[in-house]
Structure 1
Amino acid sequence: MAAVVLGWNPATAFGAGPGRTDFAAAAATVDSTGLFGTRWRVGRGQRLDLGTDVWLFAQGRHGRGLLGHGIVASAPQPGAALPARLGLLAGIVFDLLLTPGDALPAELLTASVPDLNWNAVRSTGTIVPAQAQASLRSAWASYLRSLPVPEGWQGAVDPTIPLPGSMPQDTLRQVAVNRFEHDPDAVQRCVAFHGTSCAACGLSMQQIYGPAGAEYIQVHHIVPPAAIGPDYVLDPVSDLLPMCPNCHAMSHRGAPDPYTPAELRQMLASSAGPRRAPNPLPGAVATPDQLSALADAERLREAPENRREAAEDRREAEQIMNPRPNTQ
């Protein structure tokens, strides 16, 4: 799929036509909602298919560099506020807009993406050569990872969400997600109350992956979508539950409503799936010795014959260690 770079001077208005605004307002909208839609003037002969990747390139004395990413949401067409001879208006939806001072510098782009002439980017759009798209995505993703994670970004809660622009649009698919499950404040309050173990299977990511999994867990919204009205107010404690990625994904396979944690536990039990590893210290990682001791204790509790054998072994050991005195 094609990709295009749109040149923009930060000293001018952002967008064109009915969506024209200032950049600060557009960036604030992206921060609060995740998206900002506007119209953009493109060349008459410019073909931009729906879903085409759009990169925003800042120009002028304010500092040149990549400033944002979006996609084409509506094909170029004539606009009432723009004579056809001057170009067409394309609908663009931006999913990331950096502050001008945080743009990926043009010098780095020239070095890492030499197949595109960054000194000749047009405001009406410059097509990114096919051989340059991979290097552009790589440079963009690496640069974004070097910046602090934006507060409130969904990826701060769910790291499986790719960075905007890091993957081609045709490798992604639209997934309807519950916005409450990606609300950082709601997630934090839910985990603070319920802890970081999965409410369905009991899995602790730290217990499995060690320090890398510490405090990581997804959350699941248990209220069926049909029950959510316009006046609905989220209660992070009663409406959200921590779930590991596996159980969370399975819960959303329920139809018409998601599977409940109880239903997931029943599935696990009926399928004889892996049992939860015992953990004697809630919120901590058990040592191998502790797990071995608990496993031995579990076997003794479940098998009566083992209990008898263990008792006989103890008696024999006591007789060897403490032999009865000879009274003859």
Structure 2
Amino acid sequence: MAAVILRCDANTLRRWDYRAAVEHVAESGTVFERWRLGFCADIRPGTEAWVLLQGGNDIGSGLIGHGFVASEPYQAAAEADPDATDWFIAVAFDALLPLGEHLRPSTLGHAIPGIRWAGATGPSLVAMPPSSEPVLRRLWRDYGPTTADPAEVAAGTLPPGAVSNVQVNRYERDPDARRACLAFHGTSCAACGFSFESTYGGSGAGAVAVHHVVPPAMLDSAYQLDPIADLIPLCHNCHAVAHGVTQPRSVSELRSIISAFGHMRGEVLSDLALQAQDDARRILEGGQA
């Protein structure tokens, strides 16, 4: 199924405790919510979902959130009548706008005129035309939430010149390109194999960085990104080392560095660790472990 719009009104937001959900997403990156459909929809996990606030209220109407469907439709006790059942889905929201900062119906209607963005609340779930999806994603990038990089040091905490920054280009921060890259390559570091999710569980989901293999200086105005060929996942350590020189290091260079310096000076290594390092070196040289 194509991306969907989840329609709601002010009463739904109050029952949801929307302000708490906004804070949770800002802190952890994701919040899961049960979403009432009212009917059994043909929708699958992984479907992209947008939240549209509609109806007459003192908050206003507009697009307020983005996420992905996290479950098949299921029946559960209805909120208004515990003896009755209703249809629900679980939704993982990765971006929610504070009330009052939503994308206005006038902006949405000008860019995508084929959808009713304002007025009385309609069906709780509406499928989007596929041609409208990239337009809506661009609008969300232009007018939606701005997220700070948690690895960056806040301005003013150190004297000027005391902080060295890892330089990344805009392709490494593009959410759609990042999503396509990780869907193809997975979420483990392409250089060292580190997995945030394997180490930290759910708390590490989404923490891996995405690295652009072509130096920004080599890109011109006609460049078109291929997120599969041009982007790779890297842990933040490998990403920092890759960008630590004028000409960014390749994945092969990173692997060679790791193989050559797989331990710290003065560290006592076990026979197993030494054997693993030798095996890694033979693999890199084209031999067999």
In structure 2, list runs of 5 or more residues that go unmatched: 154-165, 189-194, 197-203, 210-214, 219-233, 263-280
Do the aligned partners of 2:187 and 2:208 also contact (CA within 8 Å) in 1? Answer: no
The equivalent position to 2:76 in structure 1, one of 79, 87, 103, is 79
Identity %: 25
Alpha-carbon shift at residue 34 of structure 1 (Å): 0.6
Q: TM-score, normalised by structure 1?
A: 0.50
Residue 134 (str. 1) matches residue 129 (str. 2): no
How has the CA–CA distance of structure 1 residues 221 and 64 changed in structure 2, closer, same or farther, with 3 Å as cutoff?
Answer: same
User: 1: distance between equivalents of 2:98 and 2:46?
Assistant: 24
| 1:151 lines up with 2:163 in the alignment | no
Given that 2:63 and 2:104 are in contact with CA atoms closer than 8 Å, whether structure 1 keeps it comes out as yes
- 1:29 maps to which residue? 24
CA distance in 1, matches of 2:150, 2:70: 22
* Alpha-carbon shift at residue 259 of structure 1 (Å): 3.3
Q: In structure 1, what is the equivalent of residue 243 of structure 2?
A: 244
Return closer, same or farther for 1:127/1:61 CA change in 2, 3 Å cut-off.
farther
Give the superposition deviation at 1:261: 7.3
Count of residue pairs brought into register by the alignment: 210
TM-score of the two chains, using structure 2 as the length reference? 0.56
Whether contact under 8 Å (1:251, 1:260) holds in the other structure is no
Instruction: Give the partner amino acid of 2:134.
Output: A
- Evaluate the alpha carbon distance shift between residue 261 and residue 51 of structure 1 in structure 2; reply closer, same or farther with a 3 A threshold: farther
In the alignment, which residue of structure 2 is the partner of 1:108?
107
Query: Secondary structure at 2:100's aligned position in 1?
Result: helix
State the alpha-carbon separation in 1 of the partners of residues 207 and 178 from structure 2.
Answer: 23
Partner of 1:286: none
Select 1:38's aligned residue among 21, 33, 45: 33
1:26 is displaced (CA, Å) by 0.8
Compute the RMSD of aligned alpha carbons: 4.5
- Partner of 1:118 in structure 2? 117
Contact 2:67/2:94, CA 8 A, preserved across alignment: yes
CA distance in 1, matches of 2:149, 2:240: 19
Q: Is contact 1:219–1:242 with CA below 8 Å preserved after alignment?
A: no
The residue matched to 1:28 in structure 2 has which SS?
helix
Question: Equivalents in 1 of 2:181, 2:208: separation in Å?
Answer: 25
Q: Which has the higher contact order (CA 8 A, sep 6+)?
A: 2
How far, CA to CA, are the matches of 1:21 and 1:28 in structure 2?
13
Indicate if the aligned counterparts of 1:43 and 1:125 stay in contact, CA closer than 8 A: no
Which of the pair has more CA radius of gyration? 1
Q: Indicate which of 51, 68, 74 corresponds to 2:65.
A: 68
Corresponding residue of 1:58: 53
Answer yes or no: is the 8 Å Cα contact 2:70–2:91 preserved in 1.
Answer: yes
Structure 1 spans left out of the alignment, 5+ residues: 15-19, 185-204, 210-217, 223-239, 271-328
Distance 2:240 2:23 in 1: 30
Per the alignment, in what secondary structure is the counterpart of residue 30 of structure 1? helix
Corresponding position of 1:306? none
- Write 1 or 2 for the structure with the bigger share of helix: 1
